[in-house]
A and B are shown apart, each in its own frame.
Chain A
Amino acid sequence: NAGVMQNPRHLVRRRGQEARLRCSPMKGHSHVYWYRQLPEEGLKFMVYLQKENIIDESGMPKERFSAEFPKEGPSILRIQQVVRGDSAAYFCASSPSRDTIYFGEGSWLTVV
């Protein structure tokens, strides 16, 4: 049973481009979470999704950020028109229930 898979591990984008980060949860896990870790800061919750539903997006910036977890395929975190302040590590986690949680290796976004 593979762990939580994130790709790409590293992504470089110019200001104004779009960034798409993908997360495949562990097999059988229906809960997906995205967290952001800004340089020299702690992790912050962004969004919680179940298949085809956004359950809690209270941590998502109001503009340019969106997330989905379609019926088939990975969860996608999409950042439009990236700015330098979006440079961060983005972690995905999945869970079969509310109890245990498994993190991916992270995707490091650098905006130049």
Chain B
Amino acid sequence: KNEVEQSPQNLTAQEGEFITINCSYSVGISALHWLQQHPGGGIVSLFMLSSGKKKHGRLIATINIQEKHSSLHITASHPRDSAVYICAATLFNTDKLIFGTGTRLQVFP
């Protein structure tokens, strides 16, 4: 079992839909990251969370430390949001990131 699990693995949506991607972890962490990767492209850091909730534009990330769970929400999804979204956790007291396997999102017009 991976220490960081994401669901779903694949997600398709119509433009305008509200999207949720989930991440749970089974280890002690100091921070939780949400990353975006376009096909054949680099990785962009969207959020780093250690508690609560963060919002940037149409993206919202939340974390529940007690439940060891985080969610990434995309409101009013757009085809340009199509990418792989990766959850990653910084292991407590280290600088090591452990990654989920990613969620492949496709948003159709």
- Chain A residues in 8 Å Cβ range of B95: 31, 33, 48, 55-56, 98
| CB<8 Å pairs between A and B, sample of 29 | A31-B95, A33-B95, A41-B101, A42-B99, A42-B100, A42-B102, A43-B43, A43-B88, A43-B97, A43-B99, A44-B99, A45-B97, A45-B98, A55-B95, A56-B94, A56-B96, A58-B96, A59-B96, A91-B43, A98-B30, A98-B31, A98-B90, A99-B48, A100-B45, A100-B48, A103-B35, A103-B44, A105-B41, A105-B42
Number of interface residues of A (CB under 8 A): 25
Tell me which residues across on chain A come within 8 A of B94, comparing CB atoms: 56
A interface, over-half SS:
strand
Which residues of B does A touch, CB under 8 Å?
30-31, 33, 35, 40-45, 48, 86, 88, 90, 94-102
